[in-house]
């Protein structure tokens, strides 16, 4: 049996050392890249958390504020949630009125919006957080305008977007005269 020369063994050992050193170096680079990526990810996450926290504080501040809604010579006082519910009352009224107006035009009914049950009750979507009379008033305001648009096949007071009917912002502002306390 012939023994391999020593220099061949040394060369194989050197090659093995190079392979192991390259693997260790490659693993080291991967670890550094991973740490750097995690640091950037954590930085982005921290930025997002701060943005959300600031947004929540703004919403909380707005919710603590009180508003006065002027109607027929008197004021109704409510908070942010109350104003949002009354805005929704006008929009729901508009959407329901529009549907009723289209229905009445289609079937040749000319009795007007005041004969519609939904107009008379005025409580579609009502939540007891706001005064029922206030909700009914604003629902009916939206219903009347929606009915007019639906019956006449026009969009004078509102618009259709995202699968639903809504009242125009300037019309909403004229109906709901909201003032911050």
The per-residue pLDDT for 155 is 92
The per-residue pLDDT for 26 is 75
Where the chain has pLDDT below 70, the residues are: 1-7, 9, 32-42, 62-64
- Classified as helix, coil or strand, 112 is coil
The per-residue pLDDT for 96 is 95
CA dist 67 and 134 (Å) reads 14
DSSP 2: P
- Classified as helix, coil or strand, 162 is coil
The predicted-structure confidence for 123-175, as pLDDT tens digits, reads as follows 999 988 899 999 999 999 999 999 999 999 999 999 989 988 889 988 988 88
Give one DSSP letter per residue of 113-140, joined into a string: GGG-HHHHH--TT--TTS-HHHHHHHHH
Q: What pTM does this model have?
A: 0.64
The per-residue pLDDT for 122 is 92
Can you tell me which residue has the tokens 């190079």? 18
The per-residue pLDDT for 86 is 93
- Classified as helix, coil or strand, 163 is coil
């Amino acid at each position: 049996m012939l023994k391999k020369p020593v220099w061949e063994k040394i060369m194989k050992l050197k090659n093995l050392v190079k392979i192991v050193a390259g693997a260790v170096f490659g693993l080291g680079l991967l670890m550094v890249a991973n740490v750097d990526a995690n640091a950037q990810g954590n930085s982005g996450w921290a930025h997002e958390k701060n943005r959300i926290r600031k947004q929540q504080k703004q919403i909380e501040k707005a919710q603590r504020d009180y508003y006065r809604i002027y109607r027929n010579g008197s004021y109704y006082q409510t908070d942010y949630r109350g104003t949002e519910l009354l805005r929704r009352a006008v929009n729901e009224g508009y959407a329901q009125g529009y549907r009723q107006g289209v229905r009445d035009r289609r079937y040749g009914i000319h009795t007007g919006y005041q004969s519609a049950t939904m107009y008379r009750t005025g409580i579609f979507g009502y939540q007891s957080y706001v005064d029922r009379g206030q909700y009914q008033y604003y629902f009916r305001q939206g219903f009347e305008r929606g009915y007019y648009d639906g019956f006449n096949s026009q969009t004078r007071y509102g618009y259709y977007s995202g699968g639903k009917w809504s009242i125009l912002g300037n019309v909403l502002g004229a109906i709901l005269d909201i003032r911050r306390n």
